[in-house]
Amino acid sequence: MTTGVQVRRRMGVEERRQQLIGVALELFSRRSPDEVSIDEIASAAGISRPLVYHYFPGKLSLYEAALKRAADDLATRFVEPQEGPLGARLLRVMRRYFDFVDEHGPGFSALMRGGPAVGSSATNALVDGVRQAAYLQILVHLDINRPPARLELVIRSWISLAESTALIWLDGRRIPRAQLEAQLVHDFAALTAVSAAYDDEMATLLRRMLKDEPAEGPFTDLVGRLIALAS
């Protein structure tokens, strides 16, 4: 007589590790990692608690592996073909960014707000890696290799603006996410324009950024509305 358990194919080490990472990530996406126990992860994976420790020496190492997978996933979403107007490209990336934030809500909040389970040098390095991937993608789309200090500042500080906007959205979801995706595209243009208002190099860059924007694109729409607002 064979039971269901015995029939089930034995997983290899790497396959089992990947399964546990997936299970953990799924649990972390619904509740803060601090609130998820190894027992729950074991139970959701259908294995014993000691067996989890066989694959991951502790919860932190499983957390870091899950975060690594999520970070790789997020970095992939930043990649966008270098075709068409910049505003539309950035808007598509913002949609995929909010998809990610939506899918990983509690885990994303816990990580970015710095709960007790986070703040290790490995998790900080992963978060910094994602920020750096976002920064480099933007440079690629702007077609710039050696950014002036002011442009680097605009891009990096806008990335932190995008993070905080997502975090604030998760806390109650009081504004429709589609509006915030568009707002972040507009914010990028606005912060660049502020820098350009006081620096010639940035002004040249802004003009180049805007020259191929279509009338129906997010940048042109914003400029039209701002002019209407000012008058």
What letter represents residue 123's amino acid?
Answer: T
CA atoms within 13 A on the CB side of 144: 19
SS3 content of the chain, % helix, strand, coil (to 5): 75, 0, 25
Minimum CB separation of residue 43 from a copy of itself in Å reads 28
How many angstroms separate the Cα of 86 from the Cα of each of 140, 176, 186, 189, 200? 11, 23, 12, 10, 21
Minimum CB separation of residue 149 from a copy of itself in Å reads 4
Interaction residues for a copy of itself, span 105-134 (CB under 8 A): 113-116, 118-121, 124
Own/partner contacts of 132-135, CB < 8 Å, gap of 24 or more, are 133/75, 133/78, 134/75, 134/78, 134/159, 135/159
Residue selected from 95, 129, 187, 220 as contacting a copy of itself according to rule CB under 8 A: 187
161 binds a copy of itself (CB under 8 A): yes
Distance CA 50, CA 43 (A): 11
Residue selected from 179, 201, 208, 216 as contacting a copy of itself according to rule CB under 8 A: 179
230 binds a copy of itself (CB under 8 A): yes
Cβ atoms of residues 28 and 104 within 8 Å: yes
- Closer to a copy of itself by Cβ: residue 137 or 165: 165
Chain length of the chain: 231
Residue selected from 15, 79, 160, 208 as contacting a copy of itself according to rule CB under 8 A: 160
- Closer to a copy of itself by Cβ: residue 89 or 186: 186
Query: Which residues sit at the interface with a copy of itself, rule CB under 8 A?
Result: 113-116, 118-121, 124, 149-150, 152-153, 156-161, 163-165, 168-169, 172, 174-175, 179-180, 182-183, 186-187, 190-191, 193-198, 203, 206, 222-223, 225-227, 229-230
